[in-house]
Structure formats: structure tokens, C-alpha cells
Amino acid sequence: MQNTKLLNYNYGNFFKYLLIILASLVCIYPLFWLITVSLKTQAQYLASKFSLPWPLYFQNFISAVDNEKFFLWFMNSGILTVGSVALCTIISLLAAYAIVFMSFRGKQIIMNSIISLMAVPIVVMIVPLYILFVRIHLMSTYPGVILIYSAVCIPFSIYLLTSFFKSLPGELLEAAIIDGCSNLKVLSKVIIPLSGPPVLTLIIVNALWVWNDLLIALVFLPRTDMRTLMVGLTVFKSKFNLDVPLTMAGLLIVSLPMIIIYIIFQRYFIRGLISGALKG
Amino acid sequence: MILRTKKFTPYIYLFPAILILGLIYGYSLVRVFDFSTRRIRGITGVFIGLDNYKFVISDPVFRKAVLNNINLFVLIPILVFLAIIISYLLFEQLRGWKVYRGVIFMPYILPIPVVGVIFGYMFTLHGVVNSFLKLVKLDFLAIDWLGSPKFALWTLMIIILWKELGFGIILFLARLMSLEKEIFESAEIDGAGWWGKLFYVTIPQMRTIIEFFAIITVINMLSWVFAYSYTVTLGGPGDATMVMELFIFNKLGRSQLPMPGIASAASVFLFSGTAVLIFFLFRIRKEIGQEET
């Protein structure tokens, strides 16, 4: 009796480990494959698709970066990400502060409208914005695209910040007001210093989104020297279609910033994605 | 705690947000309806009533796109099932579960274009997938994954599944961890086995978050698969992997005659479809809020 139970237990555990390890392997293999291929020569790759690379060949990384456009595209992605995230964070902090700590008419309607924007498909806005941007000469400009990216990130950011602000103890504000702080001072000296974790979450989730976006960059940044990395790599792929290892090296470099940020800030990432589950 | 302010002060704080949302969302959502009734040449055009809608409905490419988007819904039960099983396994905190969690969540972090290109190479006729299948003597499975109109959409689904599963797992795991431990303990005392606990205790407790995830995924399958289709197959072969977003994108005139009016009518269709889903999402969101408090 005792023995069969123990046996069952071990069998069960064996299958659990088998399943979870299998799932992990399936998840990690394409990334592993990407790394191995990027370290091969074209000949090594053609000889075997899934052998380990030996001797290691680093030239692909050098060739990928050596592309004169690569640095430019990297800069573009960086500027757009930093600009959009900064603008979105400031605007969302101000709005969430007003929504949670001030009373005004139409609060519920404003809040509900902002939240429902989270589920509007981005592609629906492409046509009108395209025509508008052509008319007011915002195509292939940083400000134009930063405007779109920030707008797309704001609803989620306001949603996350308002739910955090609601959890803050009211006494803190009272003390600050008695000290004679102005509204803006309360925000900058009391609220923001307390909001480190949720703001960090926001910054990471939004940065990930902007950095990884393809659609908006593809439509609104048609000029070659204004491309982002994500658009660039689709071009890069068709240009070096036959040199798979070189393309793979490029892909790895493009994904690296976000992989590093993910590894460092995993906790914030996960928290943000759970609370902001709505965002596409 | 509510601050005492002058009457217009809150609006000053809200102004930047309302301005930017009004310009990007408000303007375009109003304009897209307007444009959908016009034959646009340049920046505007003459009113033509519902002609654009008629064109879109009778366009076989658009019909195929809608069908493909709906076919992607096949993924939803698969995603939900796998996410439940794997999150439950992680919840049991097997040795090293945090490492597994980190690994399983990794695909969700990678940019879709990167994923699309990697899998594009893996699934070529002589790519790593087919090489592997031949190695293990499963030659009959070594199909032309992306080159054949019969299989291309299924292959795209495999890629989407790989990328999106992590999100469901994290969501479900968070819900599981918020449950009272006693529920599981008392079920165990009552003699429930692993599957018994899963079906009679865990899944009922996770009902709302499962619904929530399912609806989000429906919205995504309708309106957030552009990058997959664009980077893996460009909608091809033929229009085997054409989706609504790509249809709208193409009608802007990158590769064909620009037809913004048609694109707007297609956008309105897509928007109406998601609007219905947003309604359900709101309801479930409320339920989740109640569960948490």
C-alpha cells in the first residue's frame, strides 16, 4: 500500500518534470538556435542547420553592425523609445493625479473613455493619421511618431497609475497640504517619490512596446534614414536573405537591449503585464 | 483624500492627456468613419455613400482576410489549455520553477518581427525543423510549412502560439498565487488527485481570469497579428495568410494603388468587431475587480 503510493507519487513527479522541461526547451530552442547560427559561417550553416558552431565565428556581428544604416536605425529606435516613454509618463502622471486626488465634473466619463481606448485596434487609426500627417508634414519626423506612440501608451499608463494612487494613504497628502505645498509640489515631492515601482513598470512595459513596434514605424517613417530597427531588419532580411548567419547576428543585436532589460527587471515586467493585461 | 482646488485646476492637469488622445484617437476614429464614405484622392474626396463598404464586402481578398482572422480563434482553446496546465505545474513550485518561469516567459519579450524572421528560416523547406524531422525518421511531417497555401496559416498559428503562451501562463500563475492555500489542502483531504484538484478546484477559481485572457486573445487575433503576417509570409502564398490589418495596410498603397476609402471601410468593420468584444471585456474586468477586493 505504502509502496504503490510512493511509486505513484514519483511517476507523477517524473511526468511533471518531463512536461515542464519539455515546455522550457520548446520556448528556449529558437533563441538558442538563433545564437548558434549567428556564430557560424555561411558554409557551416549550410553543412548542418542544427549543429553547434565550432570554431566560433564572430565576423557576422561585425558585418551586421558595420552596415552604415545600422547605427542610424539603432539611434532612431532609441530616440523614439526614450521620447515617447518620457512624454507618456509625464502626461499620464499629471492626468492620473487629477483623476484620483481632485474632484471635477465628468470624471467617470473621462476615466471610462480613456480605459476603453486600450482596446482600439491601432490599425484603425492608420489611414486618417497617414492622410493628416502627409498634409501637415509630419511624415518621417520624430515628433509625429512620438506623438502617436505616446498616445497609444497613455491609456494603459493612466490606468496603472490611478490604481496605484488609490492605494496610497491619504494622511501623507494631508501633511503635505498643511505644510503649505502647492498641488504641483504635492505631486512632485510626495506622490512621485512614492511611485518608483509602478513608474518603473510603466517605463519598461511601454519601452518594450515602442521598441518592438513594426506597424506604426512602417507606415509613418517611410524615409530610409528614419527607419527603426524593427523596420530595418525586415529590409535587412530581404537584402541578405541568403546569408542566414549574418541576418541572425543582426536579429540577436536588435533583441539584445530588451532581453537585457528583461533579465534585470523581470519582476517589474511581470507585474506590469499582469496589471496591464489589456494592452495589445 | 481629495485635494481642494480651483474649479478649473483639474482640467489643466488633464489637458495634455486629453489633447494628445483627442488628436490621435479622437480625430482618427471620427475621420475613419468619414473617409469610409468617400472616394479619397489625395487628402479627401467626394461622398459616395456605402460604395466602399460594398467593395470591401465583395472583395475576395478581404473575405479571405476575415476568414483567416476568425480561423486564428482555433488558437484560443489551445492557448488556454496549455496555459492552465503549465501555470499549474509552475504553481506547484517544482524544483527550479523560477528558472522555468523565466524561460517560458522569454518568447513574450522578443520583438514579433524578430520571432517572425527566426521562424521564417526555421520553417523553410530545408530548414532546421524539416532537417530534424528527417533525422528522427518522420519524413512525412517534413512539409512545405510556409510555402504551401494549405499549411501556411497553421504554421503561422504555431508561431503565434509559441510567442503568446507565456502571457497566459503569467496571468494564470498570478491568479493561482492569490488563492487561499486552504482550498487546495481541504481538497486534498477530501481525496482529490492532481487532475481532480485541477478540474474541480483550480479551474473554477480561475474562471474570470480565463474568460479575460480568452477575450484579450480574441481581440489580439482580430487586430494584433499584423507583424506576424507581415514578417513571416507577407500574407502569402497568394492570400493564404492575409489578415484584416495587412489588407488595410496594403490599401494605403505601399505595393498597390492607394485606396484610402476602401482601407477606411475595412477599418470600420474591424473596429465594430472589436467594439463588441470591448463591451464583454469591461464586464469581466469589473468581475475581476470584485474578486480582488
Residues of A in contact with B110 (CB under 8 A): 31, 255, 258-259
Q: Within this chain, do residues A118 and A236 fall inside the same structural domain, yes or no?
A: yes
CB-based contact, A139 to chain B, within 8 Å: no
Residue A108 lies in a domain: yes
| pLDDT the model gives residue A278 | 39
Spatial contact of B264 and B45, defined as CB atoms under 8 Å apart: no
pLDDT digits (tens, 9 = 90+) for B255-289: 677 888 999 999 999 999 988 887 777 777 677 66
| pLDDT the model gives residue B290 | 65
Rounded to an integer, what distance in angstroms lies between the CA atom of residue B87 and that of residue A12?
A: 16
Q: Within this chain, do residues A99 and A32 fall inside the same structural domain, yes or no?
A: no
Rounded to an integer, what distance in angstroms lies between the CA atom of residue B253 and that of residue B258?
A: 4
Residue A140 lies in a domain: yes
Residue A124 lies in a domain: yes
CATH number reported for the structural domain that contains residue A79 in this entry: 1.10.3720.10
Domain span at residue A32 reads 2-38
Q: Within this chain, do residues A237 and A146 fall inside the same structural domain, yes or no?
A: yes
pLDDT digits (tens, 9 = 90+) for A113-146: 998 888 899 999 999 999 999 999 999 999 999 9
DSSP-assigned letter for residue A101: H
Residue A29 lies in a domain: yes
Structural Rg of chain B based on CA atoms: 24
Q: Within this chain, do residues A90 and A20 fall inside the same structural domain, yes or no?
A: no
Residue A50 lies in a domain: no
Q: Is it the case that residue B117 has pLDDT exceeding 60?
A: yes
pLDDT digits (tens, 9 = 90+) for B47-69: 888 889 999 999 999 999 999 99
Residue A62 lies in a domain: no
Q: Within this chain, do residues A31 and A84 fall inside the same structural domain, yes or no?
A: no
Residue A158 lies in a domain: yes
Inter-chain Cβ pairs, chain A and chain B, closer than 8 A = 277
User: What percent of chain B clears pLDDT 90, i.e. is strictly above it?
Assistant: 43
**Per-residue pLDDT averaged across B98-102, rounded?**
87
Interface contact B252-A127, CB threshold 8 A: yes
- Tell me the domains of chain B and their CATH numbers: 36-292 (1.10.3720.10)
Q: Is it the case that residue A7 has pLDDT exceeding 60?
A: no
How many residues make up chain B in this entry? 293
Interface of A with B in 201-220 (CB under 8 A): 208, 211-212, 214-215, 218-219
Q: Within this chain, do residues A148 and A271 fall inside the same structural domain, yes or no?
A: yes
Question: Distance from B41 to chain A by nearest Cα, in Å?
Answer: 10
Q: Within this chain, do residues A121 and A30 fall inside the same structural domain, yes or no?
A: no
Rounded to an integer, what distance in angstroms lies between the CA atom of residue A25 and that of residue B90?
A: 15
Total of domains in chain A: 2
Interface of B with A in 45-84 (CB under 8 A): none
Q: What is the mean pLDDT of chain B?
A: 88
Q: Within this chain, do residues A95 and A209 fall inside the same structural domain, yes or no?
A: yes
Q: Within this chain, do residues A155 and A215 fall inside the same structural domain, yes or no?
A: yes
Residue A167 lies in a domain: yes
Q: Within this chain, do residues A226 and A132 fall inside the same structural domain, yes or no?
A: yes
| pLDDT the model gives residue A2 | 47
**Sign of the CA dihedral running B156, B158, B161, B166:** negative
Question: Distance from A95 to chain B by nearest Cα, in Å?
Answer: 5
| Residue B175 exposure: Cα atoms within 13 Å on the Cβ side | 25
Q: Within this chain, do residues A115 and A208 fall inside the same structural domain, yes or no?
A: yes
Structural element, H or E, at residue A62: helix A59-66
Q: Which three cell numbers stand for residue B234?
A: 507577407
Q: Within this chain, do residues A33 and A77 fall inside the same structural domain, yes or no?
A: no
ipTM of the prediction: 0.88
